[in-house]
Amino acid sequence: MFTGIIEAVGTIKAININAQGARLVIATNNLNMSDVKLGDSIATNGICLTVVDYDQNSYSVDVSNETLNRTGFASYDVGMAVNLEKAMLASTRFGGHMVSGHVDGVSEILSITNNGNSIEYWLSMPGDIAHYIAEKGSVTIDGTSLTVNALSDGKFRLTIVPHTVKETVFAHYQVGTKVNLEVDLIARYLERLLTKDTTGYEVEPKSNVTESLLKKAGFM
């Protein structure tokens, strides 16, 4: 589990493709590696990955074909900057929101506009997960916990302060950049609870609105 508060910006040192997916080596730059051990999780651009090798300046992770197909990793190159966050501790200050590191889809930066002391980013909203994105709700973009400020016709707006841009990979974004998107974890569980039958299988939501109720309320 993560909080979406980025601890450092790393750099991809190597990408080795194999039949099972790929092995990546990430330069950690300013990330404190003193408490990291084999098997730990580090969110890399919002993707929860397991450390399979490390030293004080880098770590290696294996990325499955499933992850390559469902995230932006398929288009990553050596030298690219990535957001880094180690898994949270029970004593960690919870500055963001609950982030699982399981990417729901890939979004695209549609526009970038300066607005006073902040920068506005409009991003595409994938249709299959659009209903999880709510105004003033939380989303995770490449591992960064952010607040949705507006929704409009298949897109949503983020208003980012300069500190966040400086401390994350937002500084590298351009129009057309593809980013990893994770929706609010609570929204997913609520939908599951509200759309299951007694056997636990998902069913179509049932409505309590009837024709007689509409007539009684004056709508017919």
Q: Rounded CA gap, 54 and 4, in Å? A: 22
DSSP 8-state secondary structure symbol assigned to residue 21: E
Task: Please report the pLDDT score of residue 166 as a whole number.
Answer: 94
pLDDT tens, 65-85? Answer: 999 999 998 889 999 999 999
The two domains 8-86 and 105-194 share their CATH topology (first three levels equal):
yes
Average per-residue pLDDT in the chain?
A: 90
Phi and psi (nearest 5°) for 119?
Answer: -125, 130
Q: Rounded CA gap, 157 and 87, in Å? A: 27
- In order, the DSSP letters of 69-111 are HHSGGGG--TT-EEEEEEPPPTTS---S--B-S---EEEEEEE
Q: Which amino acid is at 11?
A: T
Per cent of the chain over pLDDT 70 is 89
User: Which CATH code is given to the segment(s) 105-194?
Assistant: 2.40.30.20
> What's the pTM value of the predicted model, to 2 decimals?
0.85
pLDDT of 203 above 70: no
Is 8-86 CATH 3.40.50.2300? no
Question: For 151-167, what is the mean pLDDT?
Answer: 95
Task: Please report the pLDDT score of residue 95 as a whole number.
Answer: 80
More confident: 207 or 150: 150
Token output for 209: 């609105």
Domain limits, the chain: 8-86, 105-194
Q: Could you tell me how far CA 141 lies from the centroid of its own chain? A: 4
Q: Rounded CA gap, 79 and 185, in Å? A: 31
Tokens 């499933």 sit at which residue?
A: 66
Phi and psi (nearest 5°) for 128?
Answer: -75, -15
46 and 142 in contact (C-beta within 8 Å)? yes
